A and B are shown apart, each in its own frame.
Chain A
Amino acid sequence: MNSGYHTDPGLPTNRLVESPPVTKSLLIGPKGLDRLVPDGSSVYLGGSAVDRKPVALVLQLIEQGKRDLDLIAFTGSIDVDLLVGAGCVRSVAAAYVGIGPHGRAPRFTAAVVGGTIEDLEYSEWSLLGRLRAASMGIPFLPTRAGEGSETVGNLGFASVRDPYEGVDYLALPPLHPDVALLHAWRASETGTVQLPAPRQHLWDVDILAAHAARTVVVSVEEIVPEATVRSEPDLTVLHSFEIDAVLPFPKGSWPTSAPPSIEADHEALARYVLTGGDTATLTGSAVV
């Protein structure tokens, strides 16, 4: 990787492409993850209901016995459910927690009804608006979305008066997760992260979360040579200076999808829900 010359698969094989000197490898292993996610961290989980969930990273955190995590997810799914079921979680901030077409997230739902975790339900605008304020570096984002909602009112946001028209709006404060955990297609060792085109729905929310978070960890289907990412720079979604660590985890989103490698495994997801969140239904998979 550090030799400076690589064969570019996107060009005739006899053509060499010069790479700049590699300054820093962002590759880490499980121990590195352990250091980046201390107990009590606020952790954003990427992906949506049945797509690109960072399941392999989540299973690592469970194995490491994490405690008191404050989870943040736009659409929580089996990732949130596994961490809650394993007792790693103090609170969940999300606009949705469910297993897509398969129904409610069993362990999350039981924990909320049982009162063992704090349920910080958000609306879509209030959660993504806070991440957008963080991403933009502004002190708050004004909006009328969520006006009159008990869900949004319960979060205790202040309001702000439009200095031009004199109208009051909700003022969404920035939200900076301690860590964002994402799953993507491929990355170079130095942290250029790519998704295949056309991009899956809600891919941009993962990128938003990465821009808002203090630390960003990305698991990928494969680590590829620098020349490979440079052969298709239009597929790059995160740059080396925007992430802190990258781990190879082939099929690391299973049973959710990771294009172009795997589609959502609806049988496995349905089995998980039908058994009330029995993690034994996930054994025998590539990720355990």
Chain B
Amino acid sequence: MPPTREAIADLMAVALARTLGPGDFVGVGLGTPMALVSSVAARRLNSGTVAVLAGGTLNIDGDVEVWLGGPTAAVGTASGFISHLDSMDMAERQAMTTQFLRPAQVDGLGNLNTSRIGPVEAPTVRFAGGLATADVPQLLSRVVAYLPDHRPRNLPERVSWVTTSGTGWPNGPYKTHGVTGLITDLAVIAFDRPRPRLASIHPWSSADEVRERTGFDLDIGEHETTMAPTDEEMAALLHVDPMRRRDLEIRVPATT
């Protein structure tokens, strides 16, 4: 039976949240409600040991709706404000550890496209642009991409335009690991070098379906089934996102 939109959103949100742990500092970009919900849920699931910065506002606990109201709405709930240039410095000095990015396309090297389809002189599609997506995988320790529409066009052998190089520089002065993983509506993929690996398939999918719907070469090998959201995880999602903002990024009807 195909999954519901809600089931996809819940599993993707907890899969993202599971990539965070104590000591992580996650920066949330503009217009990515799934990233916000996952980050705030992870903060709750890790007893406040995950720090979350979104829209210049730090560590609101509870409904992300408050967060979306900006600094004025956050008075009484946020622990503080961080100006944008300061947050960029935090990323560059790696006081921030990670970020979740939502590209239009991802390829097998973890390269991301948030810019355009077709050549720069004559694109057929121009996306809004990626803000810091080109930058943060070269600055933060690690970045995880998510894309709730797993199909060959979105996961091609090579992205149409490399907005972001997915390759980090673990032994360089910044110690970056680049884009380390991808969470879709079908699976979790780990960007092992040089060959990406299927880490887990969601309960409603199969290895054959993932292979068929992935445009790049993927090591199917040994993989697990993505663990369904636990009661504790569902309680965290209910607490931080009672209005189900996380559903907004899932296509309707959901990919089956």
Interface size bracket, A side:
35 or more
Q: How far is the CB of B53 from chain A (nearest CB, A)?
A: 11
Q: Counting CB contacts under 8 A, is B139 at the interface? A: yes
Please name the residue on chain B nearest to A203 by beta carbon.
B83
Note all chain B residues with C-beta closer than 8 A to A152: 134
Known contacts A113-B126, A121-B115, A199-B81; A167/B131 CB under 8 A: no
Q: How far is the CB of A177 from chain B (nearest CB, A)?
A: 17
Note all chain A residues with C-beta closer than 8 A to B123: 112-113, 119
Note all chain A residues with C-beta closer than 8 A to B134: 123-126, 145-146, 149, 151-152
A228 to B58, CA, bound (A): 31
Note all chain B residues with C-beta closer than 8 A to A115: 121-122
Note all chain A residues with C-beta closer than 8 A to B172: 144, 167
Question: In chain B between 34 and 71, which residues have their CB closer than 8 angstroms to a CB of chain A?
Answer: 55-57, 70-71
A208 to B83, CA, bound (A): 12
Please name the residue on chain B nearest to A51 by beta carbon.
B70
Q: Counting CB contacts under 8 A, is A201 at the interface? A: yes
Q: Mark A147-174, 1 if CB is under 8 A from B, else 0.
A: 1111110100000000001010000000
Question: In chain A between 25 and 59, which residues have their CB closer than 8 angstroms to a CB of chain B?
Answer: 48-49
Tally of A-B residue pairs with Cβ under 8 A?
143
Interface size bracket, B side:
35 or more
User: Are A202 and B138 in touch, CB under 8 angstroms?
Assistant: no
Note all chain B residues with C-beta closer than 8 A to A103: 128
Q: Counting CB contacts under 8 A, is B252 at the interface? A: no
Q: How far is the CB of B28 from chain A (nearest CB, A)?
A: 11
Q: Counting CB contacts under 8 A, is B228 at the interface? A: no
Known contacts A144-B174, A151-B161, A201-B56; A109/B81 CB under 8 A: no
Q: How far is the CB of A136 from chain B (nearest CB, A)?
A: 11
Known contacts A128-B88, A201-B84; A149/B163 CB under 8 A: yes
Q: Counting CB contacts under 8 A, is B230 at the interface? A: no
Q: How far is the CB of A86 from chain B (nearest CB, A)?
A: 19
Q: How far is the CB of A92 from chain B (nearest CB, A)?
A: 10
A263 to B28, CA, bound (A): 22
Q: Counting CB contacts under 8 A, is A265 at the interface? A: no
User: Are B120 and A119 in touch, CB under 8 angstroms?
Assistant: yes
Q: Counting CB contacts under 8 A, is B243 at the interface? A: no
Q: How far is the CB of B132 from chain A (nearest CB, A)?
A: 4
User: Are A97 and B125 in touch, CB under 8 angstroms?
Assistant: no
Q: Mark B5-29, 1 if CB is under 8 A from A, else 0.
A: 0000000000000000000000000
User: Are B126 and A198 in touch, CB under 8 angstroms?
Assistant: no
Note all chain A residues with C-beta closer than 8 A to B129: 94-98, 121
Q: How far is the CB of A175 from chain B (nearest CB, A)?
A: 15
Please name the residue on chain A nearest to B132 by beta carbon.
A124
Question: In chain A between 100 and 140, which residues have their CB closer than 8 angstroms to a CB of chain B?
Answer: 100-101, 103-105, 108-109, 112-113, 115, 119, 121, 123-126, 128, 132
User: Are A148 and B70 in touch, CB under 8 angstroms?
Assistant: no
25 example contacts (A-B, Cβ-Cβ < 8 A) are as follows: A75-B131, A96-B30, A100-B30, A109-B126, A112-B116, A112-B123, A113-B123, A115-B121, A119-B126, A121-B116, A123-B133, A123-B134, A123-B163, A128-B85, A144-B176, A145-B92, A148-B162, A148-B164, A148-B165, A151-B134, A198-B81, A200-B71, A200-B72, A201-B57, A205-B84
Kindly list the 8 A-B residue pairs having the minimum CB-CB distance in the complex, ordered from nearest: A148-B165, A98-B128, A123-B134, A145-B135, A149-B134, A124-B132, A198-B71, A201-B56
